[in-house]
Amino acid sequence: MRLSRYFLPVSKETPANAEIVSHKLMLRTGMIKQHSAGIYSWLPLGLKVLQKIEAIVREEQNRSGALEVLMPTMQGADLWRESGRYDAYGAEMLRITDRHERDLLFGPTAEEVVTDIFRNHVRSYKELPLNLYNIQWKFRDEVRPRFGVMRGREFLMKDAYSFDLDEAGARDAYNKMFLAYLKTFQRLGLQAVPMRADTGPIGGDLSHEFLVLAPTGESGVFYDAVYDETDWAGMDISFDNNDAARAKRAETVSRIVKAYAATDEIHDEARFNAEVPAERRRTGRGIEVGHIFFFGTKYSAPMNAKVSGPDGKDILVQMGSYGIGVSRLVGAIIEASHDENGIIWPEAVAPFKVGVVSLRAGDEAVDQVCEQAYQALSQAGLDPLYDDTSDRPGAKFATMDLIGVPTQLIVGPKGLANGVVEVKDRKSGSREEVSLESALARLTDKAKA
Amino acid sequence: MRLSRYFLPVSKETPANAEIVSHKLMLRTGMIKQHSAGIYSWLPLGLKVLQKIEAIVREEQNRSGALEVLMPTMQGADLWRESGRYDAYGAEMLRITDRHERDLLFGPTAEEVVTDIFRNHVRSYKELPLNLYNIQWKFRDEVRPRFGVMRGREFLMKDAYSFDLDEAGARDAYNKMFLAYLKTFQRLGLQAVPMRADTGPIGGDLSHEFLVLAPTGESGVFYDAVYDETDWAGMDISFDNNDAARAKRAETVSRIVKAYAATDEIHDEARFNAEVPAERRRTGRGIEVGHIFFFGTKYSAPMNAKVSGPDGKDILVQMGSYGIGVSRLVGAIIEASHDENGIIWPEAVAPFKVGVVSLRAGDEAVDQVCEQAYQALSQAGLDPLYDDTSDRPGAKFATMDLIGVPTQLIVGPKGLANGVVEVKDRKSGSREEVSLESALARLTDKAKA
């Protein structure tokens, strides 16, 4: 993308009303624009990051065997009356009346809708296990929306729902999501720690939340260093539905959760000190980015979601649900990864992997080298951002660092006179003079890796 | 995808209440599930097609230089009061009150929101031209939703909004979208005819709608055969912003619209007969799949969206908007392309490009060949659907034809005894016996083409 044709309304000013760094940086980089309290547009830079996160979440859901559907944002109140949640949910549910005076609501979650799909279309235990997920906008009418996309009202969530014949099957569905989540977050450049959690308004008797460490997190966290040290993305997990794979998953999850990890709500200092050697104790604050639940027949019973079992008798299905806060992750990644100059994107979600900075647009040699680099990097799939504007070099450097372009190729007339360009690493700030050829070779090699 | 692990709730029964073929087939193939009037879930097969259409629309919007954003579904009423449309819009707008008694609405379109983004972030004519688009769910509270996704209440729309310094610039933005639309629809396997149209509640003085021919279309259409004969997808259009490219676009659009094309609302029989030779007159019915508008300062004036011009004086920007009915296109494609056995997908949007049909699951030789074919076709990127279930062959053939898999590889014990498999073409119904090697070579060659 040529910056002259892009829409990147960056701002030098720190926005009023933004309390946390991700909110400030998302406004300053022109990633989002607020329209009403907790309701945002995603501008090109922000949407690009959101879509990259979404794609990784989708890939790992598909890998786990979950099937993608898309449920509507508008849900009929009758389904929620069946489950008993319509009256129970409270003021966070946005309740709506249509022109025919029928009650609708903007879905904050979709247990009822997915159970309606299931009971209409699935008849036999042979069609199980089944896990349906969607990545869809949700709405919660927060009383005081704040922190930008971290606690907005309209937000993008991945929510999956599993259906199994018995509790053992449902626990395996839970284990699949547990392991898929660890891999998903690590691919996003985050070290997320799974912690046993309360089930809250979703219900059920088994639940974990996944927390990303950041100083602005809403919960205090206490955990064993093993959660920082393990390469979850590299785990070799089979999602097959045979007994050996099931046993392996159960064994892996129970090994993982054996290590201590708790939020301040349920933290047990005595147990923490007893179980975890002092040098392995980690404390800090965490942002919730995922939450998984097993809740048995909480929805299948009132909504009558049954299959015929092997003996021909009807059996209520065992269910779980599994959420990832996709739009919230944009903020969480920034909270976890930034410095005084701006955002430091993990490679996997960087909106542009490489920047090309022209130090003198209009200089024939500089233009020609920039153009050559831009074409080569584009062809290598690196989706470069080429600052072809006539802004001052200082402003250009500041923008590239602010929006967090991981590697920056800097081209100026002085360097070219010596046959070199500069390659800058956003994270370390290190700059190196090399020939154009070796700079391009290094960058395109990285793309292939 | 292995059918045994997929969720494809096909049905033999013709659903009650479905009046048109696309609605019937989308229900019978398990592409969608209705929850309330005009509100659907997209099940895996339907979502796959929707995503393929979305991807092609996105590619062509990006190619035209439009930039993707994502605006919220929930919009504040205040913006609509500024433009004057809040009271004018009528009962199709879903009006909502939040917990703080503030008026919201579920956006039926986004002129106000995008103008709000523009006026907050764009200051100078140097930042023009600008075209921002999004692909987002919209809501229109139709008094009588019907025809499935063709006239639903919650629907997916691509809507683009252009901003220019003067009318000449805005007309060029209009021409860009006009040309991008012709290419988009043809890539989707549709011959869409552009017709001069009324501007309706969007306003403005120049508008075209794009209609796809199908017997169930809502409008009668009358047009010159040239619209059927032209390869719009192959047109060589530059979207550069230089004078030569602009002039070429204007010349191309005026050449295209010179040929007669009109809906029954404005059809002039005398002109049709005078301008179009009898053998080139085409009549039929059409489904609207796109609509483009130039409306000048209709929104920029009340909402005060200005830039400073070359002389430093403020100038109201000239705007246009450009819609494509993304979810509606799924229905329109089926209306235009089906037979008595089911859907005939154009290759570009087929949910699976190839099917592998096992005539005897459990037979060792058949299983082994099916598996080999499935792996080879997957690796070639053909995303095959492998029917590995133990259903009867007749039911398997019926399902593959019903859901419209373009090419089907049929593997049975008798054929294997003779060293052959069958390759079936969904559209023509032709079947041919060939060796597995030559079948795979032919299919994977097609993937490379």
> Three-state SS string across A187-254, please?
HCCCCEEEEECCCHHHCCCEEEEEEEECCCCCEEEEEECHHHHCCHHHCCCCCCCCHHHHHHHHHHHH
B74–A113: do the CB atoms touch at under 8 Å? no
Is the pLDDT at B438 greater than 80? The verdict is yes
Rounded Cα distance, B156 and B110, in Å: 13
Residues of B in contact with A91 (CB under 8 A): 99
Task: Name the residue ranges covered by the structural domains of chain A.
Answer: 3-343, 352-448
State which residue of chain B sits closest to A3, comparing Cα positions: B127
Which of A40, A67, A91 has its CB closest to that of B6? A67
Contact flag B41-A117 (C-beta cutoff 8 Å): yes
pLDDT for position A15 = 85
pLDDT score recorded for residue B199: 64
Question: For residue B101, what are its two tokens?
Answer: 């008694």
Q: What is the pLDDT of residue A205?
A: 65
Q: What is the largest CA-CA distance in chain B?
A: 83
pLDDT at B16 (0 to 100): 83
Residues of A within 8 A of B390 (CB-CB) are: none
User: Do B203 and B298 form a contact (C-beta atoms < 8 A)?
Assistant: yes
Cβ proximity of B286 and B263 under 8 Å: yes
CA-based Rg of chain A, rounded to a whole angstrom? 25
Q: Please give the Cα distance from A413 to B293 (Å, whole number).
A: 46
Is residue B201 pLDDT above 70, yes or no? no
Q: Which overall architecture, per CATH, does domain B7-343 show? A: 2-Layer Sandwich (3.30)
Helix A44-63 and helix A167-187: axis angle, to 10°?
Answer: 140
Q: Say if the Cβ atoms of B116 and A39 lie within 8 Å.
A: no
**Mean pLDDT within B243-255:** 95
Integer angstrom CA distances of residue B356 from A57, B370, B406, B423: 29, 7, 11, 10
Angle between helices A326-336 and A44-63 (to 10 degrees): 110
Single-letter amino acid, residue B149? V
* Smallest Cα distance from B30 to chain A, Å: 9
Q: Closest Cα to residue B138, out of B207, B56, B75, B49?
A: B75
Rounded CA-CA distance A309/A164 in Å is 11
Query: For the structural domain made of A352-448, what CATH number should be given?
Result: 3.40.50.800
Percent helix, strand, coil in chain A (nearest 5)? 40, 30, 30
Task: For residue A425, give the amino acid letter.
Answer: D
Residues 127-166 on A with a CB inside 8 Å of B are 127, 130, 132, 137, 139, 141, 143, 153-154
Beta bridge partners of A290: A210, A324
Contacts of B65 in chain A (CB under 8 A): 5
So what's the pLDDT on residue B206?
87
Task: Indicate the angle between helix axes B167-187 and B44-63, nearest 10 degrees.
Answer: 140
Alpha helices (H) in A259-347, listed in sequence order? 269-275, 300-303, 326-336
Q: Rounded to a whole number, what is the distance in Å from the CA of A416 to chain B's nearest CA?
A: 29
A313 in B contact zone (CB under 8 Å): no
Give residue B9's Cα distance to chain centre.
Answer: 24
B30 touches chain A (CB under 8 A): yes
Nearest-by-CA chain A residue for B94: A98
Nearest CA in chain A to B129: A5
Alpha-carbon gap, residue A279 to A261, rounded angstroms: 15
Q: Map tokens 């003085």 to a residue.
A: B205
Phi, psi angle pair for B23, to nearest 5°: -65, -45
Residues 6+ apart with CB under 8 A from B405: B345, B350, B352, B353, B354, B355, B385, B426
Q: How many CB atoms lie within 10 A of CB B290?
A: 26
CA distance B34 to B17: 11
Structure confidence at residue B203 (pLDDT)? 58
- Residue whose C-alpha is closest to residue B137's, from B157, B109, B159: B157
Short-list A294, A324, A319, CA closest to A158: A324
Check: CB of residue A29 under 8 Å from CB of residue A402.
yes
Please answer yes or no on whether A7 and B143 come within 8 Å at the CB atom: no
Mutation site, A13, A43, A123, interface B, largest B CB count within 10 A: A43
Q: Which residues does A226 contact at the CB level (< 8 Å), separation at least 6?
A: A259, A280
Strands A354-358 and A385-387: parallel
Beta-carbon contacts of B256 under 8 Å, excluding residues fewer than 6 positions away, are: B178, B182, B194, B230
- For residue B15, what pLDDT band results from cuts at 50, 70 and 90? confident
Closest Cα in chain B, distance from residue A68 (Å): 6
- Nearest chain B Cα distance for residue A260, angstroms: 36
- Distance between CA B157 and CA B176 in Å, rounded? 19
**Contacting A residues, span 253-272, partner chain B, CB-CB under 8 Å:** none
Task: Please indicate whether, in this complex, the C-beta atoms of B98 and A98 are within 8 angstroms of each other.
Answer: no
Contact B36 A121 (CB under 8 A): no
Please determine, for residue B200, whether its predicted confidence score (pLDDT) is greater than 70. Answer: no
Instruction: Give the tokens for residue B29.
Output: 């193939």
Question: Which residues 37-66 on chain A approach chain B with CB closer than 8 angstroms?
Answer: 39-44, 47, 50, 65
Q: For A110, which residue in chain B has the nearest alpha carbon?
A: B41
Report the distance separating Cα A221 and Cα A198, nearest Å.
Answer: 15
Q: Alpha-carbon distance B23 to B25, whole Å?
A: 6
Reported confidence tier of residue B17, pLDDT bands at 50, 70, 90: confident
pLDDT tens-digit readout, A67-81: 999 999 999 999 999
Of A44, A75, A154, the CB nearest to B74: A154
C-alpha B255/C-alpha B250 separation (Å) is: 9
A44–B69: do the CB atoms touch at under 8 Å? Answer: yes
Neighbour-count burial for B73-110, b at 16+ CB within 10 Å, e otherwise = bbbbbebbebbebbeebeeebbbbebeeeeebbbbbbb
B279 falls in which pLDDT band (50, 70, 90)?
A: very high
Residues B110, B322: Cα–Cα separation, whole Å: 11
Rounded distance, CA A402 to CA A13, Å?
Answer: 12
Q: What single string gives the DSSP state of each residue in A40-82?
A: EEE-HHHHHHHHHHHHHHHHHHHHTT-EE-B--SEEEHHHHHH
| Residue pLDDT, tens place only, A132-161 | 999 999 999 999 998 999 999 999 999 999
User: Which residues of chain A have a pLDDT value below 70?
Assistant: 199-205, 449
Instruction: Please give the C-alpha separations between residue B175 and each of B239, B322, B329, in angstroms, as whole numbers.
Output: 10, 11, 22
Residues 6+ apart with CB under 8 A from B135: B54, B57, B58, B68, B70, B156, B157, B158, B326
Cβ-Cβ contacts under 8 Å for A375 (sequence gap 6 or more) = none
Test B94 with A94 for CB contact under 8 angstroms.
Answer: no
In the CATH scheme, what is the homologous superfamily, with its name and number, of domain A3-343? Bira Bifunctional Protein; Domain 2 (3.30.930.10)
In degrees and rounded to multiples of 5, residue B22 shows phi and psi of: -65, -40
Query: Considering only residues 337 to 396 of chain B, which have any Cβ-Cβ distance to chain A shorter than 8 Å?
Result: none
Contact A160/A332 with Cβ under 8 angstroms? no
Cβ pair A45, A29 in contact under 8 A:
yes
Question: How far is it, in rounded angstroms, from Cα B429 to Cα A128?
Answer: 34
Those of residues 4-23 in B touching chain A at CB distance below 8 A are 5-7, 9
Q: pLDDT, tens digit, for every residue of B394-408?
A: 999 999 999 999 999
What is the average pLDDT score of chain B?
Answer: 95
The first and second tokens of residue B409, run together, are: 């590889």
Q: Would you call B79 an interface residue with chain A, using a CB distance cutoff of 8 Å?
A: yes
d(CA A417, CA A292): 59
Question: Beta B281-296 vs B206-213: how paired, if at all?
Answer: antiparallel
Counting residues of chain B whose pLDDT is more than 90, the rounded percentage is 91
Chain B residue numbers with beta carbons less than 8 Å from the beta carbon of A141 are 98-99
pLDDT higher than 60, residue B202: no
Among candidates A7, A76, A92 on the partner chain, residue whose Cβ is nearest the Cβ of B36: A76
Measured between CA atoms, how close is B106 to chain A, in angstroms?
Answer: 10
Distance CA B421, CA B431 (A): 10
